[in-house]
Amino acid sequence: MSPLQITLGIISILIGVPAWAGFVLAIRKMVRTIRLGQPAPDRFGPFLPRFATMVKEFAAHTRMVKFRTVGWAHWLVMVGFLIGFVTVFQAQGQIFSPTFTWPWVGDTLAYHLLDELLGLGTIVGGLTLVIIRQLNHPRRPERLSRFSGSNFLAAYFVEFIVVAEGISMVGVKAFVISYTGESHAASDFVSMNIARVLPSSAGAVSVFAFCKLMAALVWVVVVSRNIDWGVAWHRFAAFFNIYFKREADGDVALGAAKPMMSGGKPIEMETADPDNDTFGVGKFEDFSWKDILDVTTCTECGRCQSQCPAWNTGKPLSPKLLIMSLRDHGYAKAPYLLAGDKAKVSEAARAEAERPLVGGEDVNGVIDPEVLWSCTTCGACVEQCPVDIEHVDHIIDMRRYQVLIESEFPSELAGLFKNLENKGNPWGQNAKDRLNWISEVDFEVPVFGKDADSFDGYEYLFWVGCAGAYEDRAKKTTKAVAELLATAGTKFMVLGQEETCTGDSARRAGNEFLFQQLAMQNIELLNSVFEGVEQAKKKIVVTCAHCFNALNNEYPQVGGTYEVVHHTQLLNRLVRGKALVPVSPVAQNVTYHDPCYLGRHNKIYNAPRELMEASGSTLVEMPRHAERSMCCGAGGARMWMEEQLGKRINIDRVDEALDTLKGGNEPSMIATGCPFCRVMLTDGVTARKDGGEVGQGVEVVDVAQLMLQSINRVDAATLTENLKVVQTPKAEPEPEPAPEPVKAAVAVAEAPAEAAPKAAAAGGGLGMKGGLKPPGGGKGLAMKGGLKAPGAKTATAAAETASAAEAPEAETPAAPTAKPGGLGMKGGLKAPGGKGLAMKGAAKAPGAKAETASTAAAPAEAAPAEAAAAPEAPAAEAKPSIAPKGLAMKSGLKRPGPKAPGAAAPAAAVAAEAPAAPADSALETPDGSESNGTPDAKGTSEGNGAAKPPASKPGGLGFKSGMKAPGKKS
């Protein structure tokens, strides 16, 4: 062993030991930072499926090969880096002894061949990645470069080390062959030829081995000092990030939005506690540890950015830059969070800790609000990310905090929230108008509660959706699907005015409580429709991709599990089964736009295309289609917000479609399978037509309309007959007399004044612990005036029951049990916030059967005592007989309702003594009181002089003292 070898060996050890120690400390710091996040207990198992996914994505590079050249080049670099560590440690021994190799395997042909291939592959792969980075450099138009905003210093350093390591692997082997003279053409086919021009020297082997080792140690030292260099650390963190991905079956984090979590558990309205629960993400440490692992793993490749519709149309949002900003902020803030003594924290860490997570330049926010609200939640970033980062979940969590806690959201969303709360649809239309489309078809469509009392005999429940019921363009799809199903003889019914919004836009906008309220209300209704139906036959067909995603993927999170199919899937099955037979081909060029929430989020690509092919149309694909389809711009509640920055997303998508159709036989069509997409694309085509540019002969249609054009239309009478179902009336059980009803009613009437507000407060609705106020300001999901919240009995109802109980006897038939009213809550429960559902005169509320006039308005002098004992009209209760729904909280907590003690009980006493109004003049006013038929009755019932209880103030999602309530800006 020469002095040179000894010297180089000692130097390598003196550098290597602290270098590797620093590397271990860097890993420790990274792990501690990740552990700052909230618990995520659902990410650990099951082990085998998760491990299998990790191995598959690593070995087969399933996420990377979507970009062809990058895929194989990155695979070579990855394998060269991981297995190349074996040769790096071998170099430590070769510094002391040129012929050093690993025992047992080092002299085998297989090991020599592996060493050769690793070195060559690393060189080729590394150089290819360098070339790709240069070809995509931001020196070209910045928005066209996926590397725009990436850390180029870190990237160049890593790529240099990669290529240097590859050269070192081949070089050391060639020097060893030159020194020993031993080689084999099968395993040393390149290095043996290089060895011919190299000197045969033990010192030369040691020097080159030392250089190889130093290159590796330089990499170790530099990345240890920069734990926020994702381009370097992703080669370690990616394994864990893939294993801990949201979906245990290996699918990407699309479809259902991640539930709002606190302390590792989903937050439900009935158990939410503003004093202890975290609503969304308002600071870095509110993210889960998996979210922090996400930002740690980002390799800054920019594939998410290249696919983002917001970024490609000039918006400030780049999914890559958002994740990088969160990472840089988190790791700069970590020393402050980890420090036991805050006084010893550096000023830089202290300043970083004071930055708001979301805020404009004026407050030095980490994420600008324009960035946060530009997202359409289309999922293109998640679909393309090679290391399974869950961008959309991060964005929705931050939106939740802004809406529920800060009340900071685009002004257009206030109208959306109000309409959803009060009317059950984004447009604020009346529930009865959901049936208008039925009057526009020639055949009869069965409506639940009107034409059918149960699901018996039907195959599908047709969920029309808000757009399909109210939006004129979407109604064409609704009518086409209804006619096609009737033509095929598929028995279906609709909910009509009982149906309400699924809450998709509310959830994507961050209003999780509003989504849950709407979802549980719909589940209550659907369960009443499917009562007694076996699980496999609870089938729903949907035309809206957003409704489809909510019902199929998100309602199971809150207790509603059904078999949900998109209309393109069902119609395609009917065509395959010859129930629908196309006879007149459309014979036009059609390009298809993949709705994000049908395609990427739910992987439904083939059904609509097969349906188009069956219709006889010629499909011409756009450059961006299937999993790389461009968003229309309506997702993520962007449907209800204006685009103020950059090019409109729908215009960009329409331009692509029109360019695709150029040269075709006019007229051509753009087809889609979602009403949101149809509205956005139609608006885009109209804008181009109005501008006198292109698209003059282009029409936007739904795939179902193409199919309808291709079949022989059936007469209306046959369609009506095809949908007719004869149901066997269900035998009603014998009623049992209620024990001592008169005493129970009198007890309620004579209850102390304090009991009335408590009884009202015990109902459902948005009642939350601590007086939480609903997002959007005002009343939220609390009912206006005196309307009942879901599951609650108001004090007014108790007073009316008491009045009936004390009235003199008369021959009056008992009132029948009311069927679901309002927005379709079982047992007569009313929907949240719906003012417009109260109807004048004796008109029925949507979906409900009115009480018989003789019972509802009989004078007190003629009311029989037996009426109070009838099973159909039980005595009023101090507590609701139906379990509270919605944002109902723990027993005894306040809910929306009268706050002033003693307000309801005196009214009940007056009502007990006063005669009731005549039957033909009774009506319910919008604020929930009984009126004598005067349209402007507000404070009192003018016809009978009975004082009306004061309108209850809405409850709220109010927070601790000093905290902002959602919906109001301080």
- The three-point CA angle 655-657-658 to 5° equals 65
Question: Do 501 and 420 meet the contact criterion of CB atoms below 8 Å apart?
Answer: yes
- pLDDT of the residue at 271: 85
- The three-point CA angle 225-229-233 to 5° equals 95
Can you tell me the distance from the alpha carbon of 279 to that of 211, in angstroms, rounded to the nearest whole number?
53
Which of the four pLDDT bands, split at 50, 70 and 90, describes residue 69? Answer: confident
Which of the four pLDDT bands, split at 50, 70 and 90, describes residue 734? Answer: low
Can you tell me the distance from the alpha carbon of 581 to that of 37, in angstroms, rounded to the nearest whole number?
56
CB crowding 382-417: b at 16 or more within 10 Å, else e = bbbbbbbbbbbbbbbbbbbbbbbbbbbbbeebbebb
Q: Which helix (H) or strand (E) holds 671?
A: strand 669-672
Q: pTM of the predicted model, to two decimals?
A: 0.76
pLDDT at 716 over 50: yes
Can you tell me the distance from the alpha carbon of 863 to that of 810, in angstroms, rounded to the nearest whole number?
5
- pLDDT of the residue at 730: 62
- Token look-up 């479609």 returns 657
Write the CA distances from 784 to 246, 385, 426, 903, integer angstroms: 40, 46, 18, 17
For residues 246 and 65, which has the higher predicted lDDT (pLDDT)?
Answer: 246
Lowest mean pLDDT among 32-36, 552-556, 825-829: 825-829
pLDDT at 290 over 90: yes
Lowest mean pLDDT among 109-118, 147-156, 495-504, 934-943: 934-943
pLDDT digits (tens, 9 = 90+) for 79-120: 998 888 888 889 999 999 888 999 988 889 999 999 999 999
Can you tell me the distance from the alpha carbon of 865 to that of 807, in angstroms, rounded to the nearest whole number?
7
pLDDT at 895 over 90: no
Lowest mean pLDDT among 53-57, 317-321, 932-936: 932-936
Q: In terms of Cα–Cα distance, which of 852, 629, 870 is closest to 745?
A: 870
Q: What would the two tokens of residue 98 be?
A: 């040129």
Which of the four pLDDT bands, split at 50, 70 and 90, describes residue 810? Answer: very low
- pLDDT of the residue at 860: 38
Parallel/antiparallel/unpaired status of strands 699-702 and 923-924: unpaired
pLDDT at 858 over 70: no
Name residue 670's beta-bridge partners: 591, 700
How many helices (H) and strands (E) are present in the chain, helices listed first? 34, 12
DSSP letters, 139-204, are: TS-GGG-TTTTS-HHHHHHHHHHHHHHHHHHHHHHHHHHHHH----TTT-TTHHHHHTTS---HHH
Three-state DSSP at 293 gives: helix
- pLDDT of the residue at 340: 83
Q: Which residues contact 537 (CB under 8 A, 6 or more apart)?
A: none
pLDDT digits (tens, 9 = 90+) for 183-211: 899 999 999 999 999 989 888 999 999 99
Which of the four pLDDT bands, split at 50, 70 and 90, describes residue 731? Answer: low
Which of the four pLDDT bands, split at 50, 70 and 90, describes residue 738? Answer: low
Q: In terms of Cα–Cα distance, which of 903, 917, 872 is closest to 736?
A: 872
Q: In terms of Cα–Cα distance, which of 970, 965, 6 is closest to 403?
A: 965
Which region, left, alpha or beta, applies to residue 41 given φ > 0 means left and ψ of -120 to 50 means alpha?
alpha
- pLDDT of the residue at 341: 83
Strands (E), 504-588: 539-542, 563-566
Which of the four pLDDT bands, split at 50, 70 and 90, describes residue 763? Answer: very low
Q: What is the mean pLDDT of residues 429-441?
A: 94
Lowest mean pLDDT among 67-76, 376-385, 457-466, 920-929: 920-929
Which of the four pLDDT bands, split at 50, 70 and 90, describes residue 732? Answer: low
- pLDDT of the residue at 128: 94
For the chain, give the mean pLDDT: 79
For residues 890 and 203, which has the higher predicted lDDT (pLDDT)?
Answer: 203
Helix ranges (DSSP H) in 103-151: 109-135
Backbone angles phi, psi at 461, to 5 degrees: -95, 120
Parallel/antiparallel/unpaired status of strands 539-542 and 563-566: parallel
Lowest mean pLDDT among 111-120, 334-343, 584-593, 947-956: 947-956
pLDDT digits (tens, 9 = 90+) for 872-886: 333 333 333 333 333
- pLDDT of the residue at 88: 87
- Token look-up 């963190």 returns 237
For residues 501 and 961, which has the higher predicted lDDT (pLDDT)?
Answer: 501
What whole-number percentage of the chain has pLDDT above 90? Answer: 63
